[in-house]
A and B are shown apart, each in its own frame.
Chain A
Amino acid sequence: MTTDLAGPPHLQVRLFAGLREQAGWGERHLALHEPATPDAHNGAPPPTAAQLWQRLGLGPWPAGVRVAVNREFAEPGRILAAGDEVAYLPPITGG
């Protein structure tokens, strides 16, 4: 098995505004399961959006951050699926 995009199921992760600047990146592809664990092979459930945040190594869950999955708002507890686009959105300041 390879670890490139044609290999295990992947997620697209996006950060915006202050989160993007703090992280130093705005978009990444990650494996659905932690590559260092055998989850992908032992039937473990895929991560939630909140669990995926922990994997990003960007510190504790920031106050006021909302989640979007496939460009619609979702709860942090949303269970992710292969191919999902997961975005972490700082507090919105439009209008």
Chain B
Amino acid sequence: MADPSSPLRESSTTLSIALEAWPFDPFAVLRPWSTGSAAAAEAHFIGRVRGWSAAGEPLAALELEHYPGMTEAQLERLAAAAAARHAVRAVLVRHRVGRVQPGEAIVLVAVAADRRGPAQRCCQELLEALKHDAPFWKKEVGVAGQGRWVDGNTPLEEPAPPGQGTQTIRTA
């Protein structure tokens, strides 16, 4: 039995998980979720579609395929597991499916917790988990209409150019 005075909660996390078939405004999703929250800390991640392919060519769109039924269930499992590990108050995930244009939001992850550490760690961990373990597949569509399935996720961080100690972290 957990100490009732402990701030840790294992089963009271609020999960809000949804797939978006159309462009969505992440800030419009966040506003009602965040307004009135009793949590002292929130971490938000918005990933947008780049304007170029993995090969560096101009991109017309990404087409996001998923496994209806499994994708939603897997997002719930991943969110619940990450929430329990970090004892956070609330987790929100939105993920696009279908055709997504460059610049549009493709993923939104938000975590509310009592401290910044759990909020930020849970947000990053859940983002990495869904990139690898929630069934989504990206097809790059070039400006000439040609399609190519993406064969792997982008690395977490941009490789540092030779001889340079600092690096820029890009989204998504």
Give Cα A92–Cα B151 distance, bound, in whole angstroms.
8
Interface residues of A in 45-85 (CB under 8 A from B): 68, 71-73
- Chain A residue at minimum C-beta to C-beta distance from B75: A94
Q: A71-B73, A93-B150 are in contact. Are A16 and B137 (CB under 8 A)?
A: yes
Contact B131 A89 (CB under 8 A): no
Q: Is A32 an interface residue (CB 8 A)?
A: no
Q: How many residues of A contact B (CB 8 A)?
A: 17
Count the A-B residue pairs with Cβ separation under 8 angstroms: how many?
70
Q: Is B65 an interface residue (CB 8 A)?
A: yes
**Among A73, A91, A94, which residue has its beta carbon within 8 angstroms of that of B130?**
A94
Give Cα A90–Cα B64 distance, bound, in whole angstroms.
13
Contact A95 B153 (CB under 8 A): yes
Taking chain B's interface residues, is the majority helix, strand, or loop, or is none over half, making it mixed? Answer: mixed
**Among B70, B73, B132, B139, which residue has its beta carbon within 8 angstroms of that of A17?**
B139
Give Cα A87–Cα B74 distance, bound, in whole angstroms.
14
Q: A16-B65, A95-B47 are in contact. Are A87 and B137 (CB under 8 A)?
A: no
Give Cα A16–Cα B69 distance, bound, in whole angstroms.
13
Interface residues of A (CB under 8 A from B): 14, 16-18, 21, 68, 71-73, 87, 89-95
A-B contact pairs, 29 of them (CB 8 A): A14-B67, A17-B65, A17-B137, A17-B139, A17-B149, A18-B149, A68-B67, A71-B67, A71-B73, A72-B70, A73-B133, A87-B70, A89-B67, A90-B137, A91-B152, A92-B132, A92-B135, A92-B136, A92-B153, A93-B131, A93-B138, A93-B149, A93-B153, A94-B131, A94-B134, A94-B137, A95-B95, A95-B134, A95-B172
